Amino acid sequence: MKNKILSLLVDNNPGVLTRIALLFSQKGFNIESMTAATTYNDKITRITIVTNGDDSHMAQMMKQTEKLIEVHSVFALDTSNSLMRELLLLKVAINNGDSSIICDIANAFNAKIIDISHNNLVTELSGMPDIIDRYLNALKDFNILEMSRSGVTALERGDIYHS
Amino acid sequence: MILNGSQILIEVLVEEGIRTIFGYPGGSLLNIYDALYMNKDRIEHILTVDECGACHAADGYARASGKVGVVLATSGPGATNLVTPLATAYMDSVPLVAITGNVTNDLIGKDSFQEVYIAGVTMPVTKHNFVVRKVEDLADTLRRSFEIALSGRKGPVLVDIPKDVTIAKTEFIKVKARKEKENKKIILDKNKIDLVADMINKAKRPVIYFGGGASNASENLRELMTISDIPSVHTIMASGILGYDEPLNLGLLGMHGSVTANKAIDKADVVLAIGTRFSDRVALNTKKFASKAKIIHIDIDASEINKNVKVDFSIVGDINEALDKLLKLINKRENKSWIKELYKWKKEDYKPKENANMITPYKIIDIVCSKAGKDAIYVTDVGQHQMWAAQYIHHIKPRSFLTSGGLGTMGFGYGASIGAKVATKNRHVIHITGDGSFHMNMNETATAVTYNLPIISIIMNNHALGMVRQWQTCFYDKRYSNTDINRKTDYVKVAEGFGAKGFRCTTTKELEDALDLALKEKIPVWIECIIDKDEKVLPMIPSGGTVEDIMVD
């Protein structure tokens, strides 16, 4: 099932993230990834959730979320018309003499090398989620020590805006 | 004026029109109870036997009166004792404000004595909850709680107050009393109303299916049915919204509804669903429910639309407003052939069987209703007795049949009866219960005795956990696992031990005599009625079934 993106604008209150996560869990809705941060108005937080489900599932998810007292608005982003970004930090081992191949791959994807130590290097890549997926796939034969993906954040293109 | 947190609580309660609260003290509530002591003339506090009973009482109070019920419980185990009753209120959309004390701000999160993160525990069973960390936020948080409890689809709200907040001082500013505040209205789409009216006017076999959400809409509903000659069926939560003997009222539908009501929904070509949620006790098979009909759903909660059953048309808004507008567009007409068909089914419908040796549940309820009169309020626990009560009571008025329909909480009954009695003062409160449920909450009789609340408990004793036993009879080849109860409880002696009165009946005459005495008493009365353990609740449609699968023996 194709992933869908929900964008929520909520009160920046302690525990609001817990409430959203709890509701999704309670109703059996799936959270593939979740990012949250305050907006330009520091009383409002934007939460971006990547989920999946058919149309009726999505409709229920949105209506249940809208019922929460601290939720101002919920909208499903049109992924074909949205700007989606994710950040990846990746720590990969380099003691087998792989470092030049790894650097080549990193350069091909425009990933930056942000740290080098005796046995490993760390690359940083930000971009569309599927670029991140392809980068990870390109490096899969190497010894990946640690990685951290931030989860997807997104805005719709053009003259549509929600605040 | 400068007030401390506890005094602010009292002022906001008075502002909200609250004159009675139910509760149980504890360490974290000492300051609040001190303020209650100093304000005895403004707020009445009913002390129950435990917090569970207090919260069920606040719930019964709210159901019987339509106002917000308020319960006060201490931190830790006091607060966790509210979980079941809060979930009970949440499932039945009952407006409650639950106030819990908590340890002081500096002790929160440190596994302190009688500390629990009650906001986290109750998140899934409340409409919303608050932890008030600063006394400056207390007044507005409390006001907001009442607003949330009463707005849209009603429900319970919890406010957790750390002990230091109850003694800290701040400036308190009075605002307008609740009854002077205006409720936010949802604007109805005129085009939708036109379309719905058209569908109803053209329907050949229309049926109205209404639930608890129609509690304040009796008049409009009756008028709609009379003008357009449309019959109705209803859920357990809607008992009493129409009189049981009104000709177009086909009665209860669903798992234990009548054959007529279930057939009507099955054969209908237009179903108007009002203030209801297609629960799994009604729409037992979500794909086949009202499969021949176009379904119109009117409800205040948008998330209920298409949640369980796909409907063809929906209006989100207040029922009375929608019906007011609809009534202007409905044509006067008759549905003679449809009504004739329904009455034919009604004549052939299941009738409860006689029993030569023991009193039957049907007879018990019939006798109780005729003695208790038109003004009585009935409160039930959960199980077979609850279903018989729903089926056979002579429901006449709304808010007179209080039952835990959504959560199905055994032990709801006595506490809720206390709340109902406090709310309605001079009406008879009849508590119908079973030997299983009654053991869960009989100790609240001590509260009823203390406050002179003459609640009459009719204990249908079949020496079994009847409903579960019935399923074991029907679907588990009579393997009665832990459902045959042979407790030695002597209800007459125990009642007297509490300071109440007890009767034991095995015949209808004994029941009639006991009721005649009970209805004059000023103290609570328990009337135990011995019934056959093999009595079944019928008709019955098992889960996943339709009216084709209905069992009548």
Cβ partners under 8 Å of residue A152, min gap 6? A5, A33, A35, A48, A50, A84, A85, A86, A129
Residue A27 with chain B: CB contacts under 8 Å: none
State how far the Cα of B365 lies from the Cα of B389, in Å rounded to an integer: 7
Which two structure tokens, joined as six digits, stand for B120? 């986290």
Question: Is some CB atom of chain B closer than 8 A to the CB atom of A96?
Answer: no
State how far the Cα of A146 lies from the Cα of A120, in Å rounded to an integer: 10
User: Has B493 been annotated as catalytic?
Assistant: no
Report the pLDDT averaged over residues B162-177: 94
> Shortest CB distance from A63 goes to which of B124, B148, B303?
B303
Strands B429-434 and B377-380: parallel
Average pLDDT, chain B: 96
CB contact under 8 A, A26 and B148: no
Per-residue pLDDT tens digits for A89-118:
999 999 778 889 999 999 999 999 999 998
Q: How many CB pairs under 8 A join A and B?
A: 27
Query: Is pLDDT at B369 greater than 80 in this prediction?
Result: yes
User: Has B467 been annotated as catalytic?
Assistant: yes
Q: What pLDDT does residue A158 have?
A: 84
Query: Is pLDDT at B182 greater than 60 in this prediction?
Result: no
Q: What pLDDT does residue B170 have?
A: 98
**DSSP element (H, E) containing B326:** helix B319-327
Report the pLDDT averaged over residues B246-271: 97
DSSP string, B243-283: -TT-TTEEEE-STTS-HHHHHHHHH-SEEEEES----TTT-
Judging by beta carbons within 10 Å of its beta carbon (0-12, 13-18, 19+), is residue B187 exposed, middle or buried?
exposed
Instruction: Name the residue of chain A whose CA is nearest to B128's CA.
Output: A69
CB contact under 8 A, A15 and B119: yes
What is the ipTM metric for this complex? 0.90
CB contact under 8 A, A67 and B301: yes
Per-residue pLDDT tens digits for A21-50:
999 999 999 999 999 999 999 999 999 999
State how far the Cα of A95 lies from the Cα of A120, in Å rounded to an integer: 7
- HEC per residue, B531-548: CCCCCCCCCECCCCCCHH
> Shortest CB distance from B302 goes to which of A22, A63, A69?
A63
State how far the Cα of B248 lies from the Cα of B258, in Å rounded to an integer: 14
State how far the Cα of A36 lies from the Cα of B31, in Å rounded to an integer: 39
* Cβ-contact B224, B242 below 8 angstroms: no
CB contact under 8 A, B303 and A64: yes
